[in-house]
Amino acid sequence: MFRLRARVCKNNHCLRETVVEEGSGDTRTHKVLHALNQAVMELDLAEPIWLEKNIRDFQRRARCRFDRDSFVEEVDFDYLEIAVLEEDGDFV
Protein backbone atom coordinates (compact mmCIF):
# COMPACT_ATOMS: atom_id res chain seq x y z
CA MET A 1 0.00 0.00 0.00
CA PHE A 2 1.18 3.50 -0.81
CA ARG A 3 -0.10 6.43 1.28
CA LEU A 4 0.55 10.12 0.63
CA ARG A 5 -0.44 13.00 2.92
CA ALA A 6 -1.15 16.47 1.51
CA ARG A 7 -1.45 19.55 3.72
CA VAL A 8 -2.43 23.10 2.85
CA CYS A 9 -0.68 25.50 5.24
CA LYS A 10 -0.69 29.22 5.95
CA ASN A 11 1.39 30.96 8.62
CA ASN A 12 2.71 27.53 9.67
CA HIS A 13 -0.79 26.27 10.50
CA CYS A 14 -2.47 23.43 8.68
CA LEU A 15 -5.71 24.63 7.09
CA ARG A 16 -6.73 21.40 5.35
CA GLU A 17 -5.29 17.92 5.12
CA THR A 18 -5.99 14.67 3.31
CA VAL A 19 -4.40 11.24 3.08
CA VAL A 20 -4.61 9.34 -0.20
CA GLU A 21 -4.07 5.60 -0.58
CA GLU A 22 -2.82 4.26 -3.89
CA GLY A 23 -2.93 0.49 -4.31
CA SER A 24 -2.07 0.13 -7.98
CA GLY A 25 0.90 -1.85 -9.25
CA ASP A 26 2.37 1.18 -11.01
CA THR A 27 5.86 2.54 -10.49
CA ARG A 28 6.57 4.78 -7.51
CA THR A 29 6.57 7.87 -9.74
CA HIS A 30 3.14 7.03 -11.12
CA LYS A 31 1.82 6.32 -7.63
CA VAL A 32 3.05 9.72 -6.43
CA LEU A 33 1.55 11.55 -9.41
CA HIS A 34 -1.80 9.73 -9.13
CA ALA A 35 -1.97 10.32 -5.37
CA LEU A 36 -1.06 14.01 -5.77
CA ASN A 37 -3.71 14.41 -8.46
CA GLN A 38 -6.33 12.82 -6.20
CA ALA A 39 -5.23 14.93 -3.21
CA VAL A 40 -5.49 18.25 -5.03
CA MET A 41 -8.95 17.25 -6.29
CA GLU A 42 -10.06 16.50 -2.72
CA LEU A 43 -8.56 19.78 -1.48
CA ASP A 44 -10.07 21.70 -4.42
CA LEU A 45 -6.71 22.99 -5.68
CA ALA A 46 -5.03 23.28 -9.04
CA GLU A 47 -2.27 20.75 -9.64
CA PRO A 48 1.15 22.25 -8.81
CA ILE A 49 4.07 22.40 -11.19
CA TRP A 50 7.05 20.25 -10.21
CA LEU A 51 10.02 22.61 -10.06
CA GLU A 52 13.59 21.34 -9.82
CA LYS A 53 13.74 22.09 -6.07
CA ASN A 54 10.56 20.02 -5.50
CA ILE A 55 11.99 17.05 -7.38
CA ARG A 56 15.27 17.20 -5.42
CA ASP A 57 13.52 17.48 -2.04
CA PHE A 58 11.12 14.65 -2.83
CA GLN A 59 13.90 12.34 -4.01
CA ARG A 60 15.94 12.98 -0.86
CA ARG A 61 13.27 12.97 1.84
CA ALA A 62 10.03 11.59 0.31
CA ARG A 63 8.41 14.96 1.03
CA CYS A 64 8.35 18.44 -0.44
CA ARG A 65 6.58 21.77 -0.34
CA PHE A 66 4.97 23.48 -3.28
CA ASP A 67 4.98 27.21 -2.58
CA ARG A 68 3.11 29.91 -4.49
CA ASP A 69 5.63 29.76 -7.35
CA SER A 70 4.50 26.21 -8.12
CA PHE A 71 0.95 27.25 -8.98
CA VAL A 72 -0.17 29.01 -12.15
CA GLU A 73 -3.13 30.66 -10.48
CA GLU A 74 -3.03 32.75 -7.32
CA VAL A 75 -3.50 30.77 -4.10
CA ASP A 76 -4.63 31.87 -0.64
CA PHE A 77 -2.12 29.77 1.33
CA ASP A 78 1.65 29.70 1.82
CA TYR A 79 2.42 26.16 0.66
CA LEU A 80 1.13 22.70 -0.12
CA GLU A 81 3.19 20.02 1.58
CA ILE A 82 3.16 16.40 0.46
CA ALA A 83 4.80 13.49 2.24
CA VAL A 84 4.88 9.74 1.73
CA LEU A 85 3.53 8.06 4.86
CA GLU A 86 3.69 4.43 3.82
CA GLU A 87 5.33 2.65 0.94
CA ASP A 88 4.66 -1.05 0.26
CA GLY A 89 3.81 -1.76 3.88
CA ASP A 90 6.80 0.16 5.29
CA PHE A 91 6.14 3.39 7.16
CA VAL A 92 8.43 6.21 6.07
Burial of residue 20 (CB within 10 Å: 0-12, 13-18, 19+) is: buried
92 has a pLDDT exceeding 90: no
Tell me if 69 is assigned to some domain.
yes
37 part of a folded domain:
yes
Range of the domain at 62: 2-87
pTM (whole model) above 0.85: yes
- Digit-coded pLDDT (tens) for 32-88: 999 999 999 999 999 999 999 999 999 999 999 999 999 999 999 999 999 999 987
Quick check: 13 pLDDT over 90? yes
Q: Does 27 fall in a domain?
A: yes
Task: Provide the pLDDT for residue 45.
Answer: 95
pLDDT at 87: 85
Structure confidence at residue 25 (pLDDT):
82
Residue 92 lies in a domain: no
Number of domains forming the structure of the chain: 1
Residue 43 near residue 18 (C-beta atoms within 8 A): yes
Q: DSSP character for 89?
A: T
